[in-house]
Amino acid sequence: MSSAEQGVGEILIPEADVRTRVAELGAEISADYAGRDLLLVGVLKGAVFFMADLMRTLSVPCEIDFMAISSYGAATDSSGVVRILKDLDINIAGRNVLVVEDIIDSGLTLSYLMRSLRARKPAALEVCALLTKPERREIEVPVRYVGFEIPNRFVIGYGLDFAERYRNLPYIGVLHPDLVPGATR
């Protein structure tokens, strides 16, 4: 076990399965957007890893940009009020925008983001998330492309962190039970 893997309880989605699914999503997206160009919008920081791999499987012309959003905090306030810490560099009016996320949990982050992006009048606005935890959803958000539906467990790796660590694991793991904090995320 490498030191990066200390704290991994078990492997939920092995590296090979992640890679296969990312390629499938890439093929599906490439077919759907054939003849159009795509702007991938990544949500920092977790989405960076998935987005970089997904982009390399796309056969349509594509660009990337990023947003950073403040967490709604420990209060788990379901108001969905979050703050933009870093906005897009470019104007998305008339663009085909695909928001890329590593995971959708309560849906609050994405719900806020979609409201903000929709107001900027993109030609198309869809979401691609590697993981979704349906049991945790507080707000419904339409997600066009989903990699895996997962149970309500604390997952790490492939961009997902626990206290900012473990993002570099090449697979999706479950945090060791000894480390799981009171909240499930």
Which residues lie near Mg ion (CB under 5 A)? 161
Interface residue with ligand PRP, options 71, 91, 152, 168 (CB under 6 A)? 71
Active-site annotation, residues: 105
Interface residue with ligand PRP, options 13, 62, 97, 104 (CB under 6 A)? 104
Give the shortest CB-37-to-Mg ion separation in angstroms: 30
- Tell which residue, 129, 120, 68, has the closest CA to residue 100: 129
- Helices and strands: H and E segment counts in the chain: 3, 9
Interface residue with Mn ion, options 26, 42, 46, 157 (CB under 5 A)? 46
122 binds Mn ion (CB under 5 A): no
Select 107 or 157, whichever has its Cβ closest to ligand PRP: 107
Please, where are the H alpha helices in the chain? 15-32, 47-55, 108-118
Question: Using CB under 6 A, which residues numbered 155 to 174 contact ligand PRP?
Answer: 161
Tell me the β-bridge partners of 98.
Answer: 40, 126
Name the token pair of 6.
């200390």
| Residue 126 binds: one of Mn ion, Mg ion, ligand PRP, none (C-beta under 5 to 8 A by kind) | none
CA distances from 171 to 18, 93, 109, 128 (A): 7, 36, 23, 18
